[in-house]
Amino acid sequence: MLDAIFIGLSLGSILLLVALGLAITYGAMGVINLAHGEMVMIGAYTAVLVRIWLNLGLLVAIPIAFVAAAVTGYVIERLIVRRLYGRLFDTLLATWGVSILLQQAVRLEGGLSFFGIHIAGLGSGLQRVDLPSWLIGAVKIAGIDLNIYRSFIILVTLALTAITWAILYRSSVGMQVRAIMRNPRMAAASGIDVGRINSLTFAYGSGLAGVAGVMMAGFKTVFPDMGTSLVVDGFLVVVVGGVGSLVGSVVAAAMLGQINGMVALLSNDVLARAVVFAVVVAIITYWPKGLFSYKGR
């Protein structure tokens, strides 16, 4: 039972990294970013390329993946998303198109495959990342065997969650983000550069998703459309926790991760997904704004 709880915590940790960016982005910008899952994919492939081309491990891949995904998110926001603010369905369709383009770019190795040029680590095949020796195995604490890598995932998520909290509630940029969440027009009238803050918010959320991709690469195979299902799971966390609520995202990710892990252990993954969706439907039926809704004016 304790093993199932621990597995659920590690799954919830990855969900939280994916959902944090979605919660902040949708809360501040009102954008449904269907390309967010591809930021996870970019992070995972960054880990693969760092191993192949730089011969470096997972630990070094984390900051590189954050920067790679953040830069990609920043470019997407500047070139596409910012032209579609206030047009919810247009942003949904546009980011869906971007997600398909990014997947195909990886499959076709940036188009170089048409010229017979192949990049090791890219393409349509499955990739994997080997864990360093110090992350393999288990450690016994209080008579309980804890998987070292899953513990590492939880610790990284806790650290990034703390950093995100500090940025949102202990920095001037975070104050501006929260002002935009409350009332973007009033924030703009107060002198806040809404466009700049939106770009930084989008980039930061994308960077967190990139780190989630690195974490996933340590225990799952890497392939071009690996982020498609994760973006759905991320939005489930955002909806259950409450749009724009950091605390809500933490609670929802932990809860859904535990439910998925426990049911999968007792039955199978298919039933676990069904139970998770049933719980989400029940929650939003009684709490349409989520468990910790962010009040606006």
Q: What is the pLDDT of residues 219-276, one digit of tens each?
A: 889 999 998 888 888 888 888 888 767 888 888 888 888 888 788 777 777 888 888 8
Mean pLDDT of 175-201: 88
pLDDT at position 4 is: 65
pLDDT in tens, 20-46: 888 878 766 778 889 999 999 999 999
Residue pair 206/66 in contact by the 8 Å Cβ criterion? no
What CA dihedral angle connects 159, 164, 167 and 169, to 10 degrees?
A: -110
User: Which is nearest to 38 in space by CA: 68, 61, 78, 8?
Assistant: 68
pLDDT above 50: residue 297:
no
H/E element, 53: helix 36-53
* 297 or 93, which is more confident: 93
User: d(Cα 38, Cα 50) in Å, to the nearest integer?
Assistant: 18
For the whole prediction, is pTM greater than 0.85?
yes
pLDDT above 80: residue 93:
yes
Residue 215's pLDDT band, with cuts at 50, 70 and 90, is: very high
What CA dihedral angle connects 231, 218, 204 and 151, to 10 degrees?
A: 100
Residue 199's pLDDT band, with cuts at 50, 70 and 90, is: very high
What average pLDDT is seen over the chain?
87
pLDDT at position 293 is: 67
H/E element, 178: helix 172-182
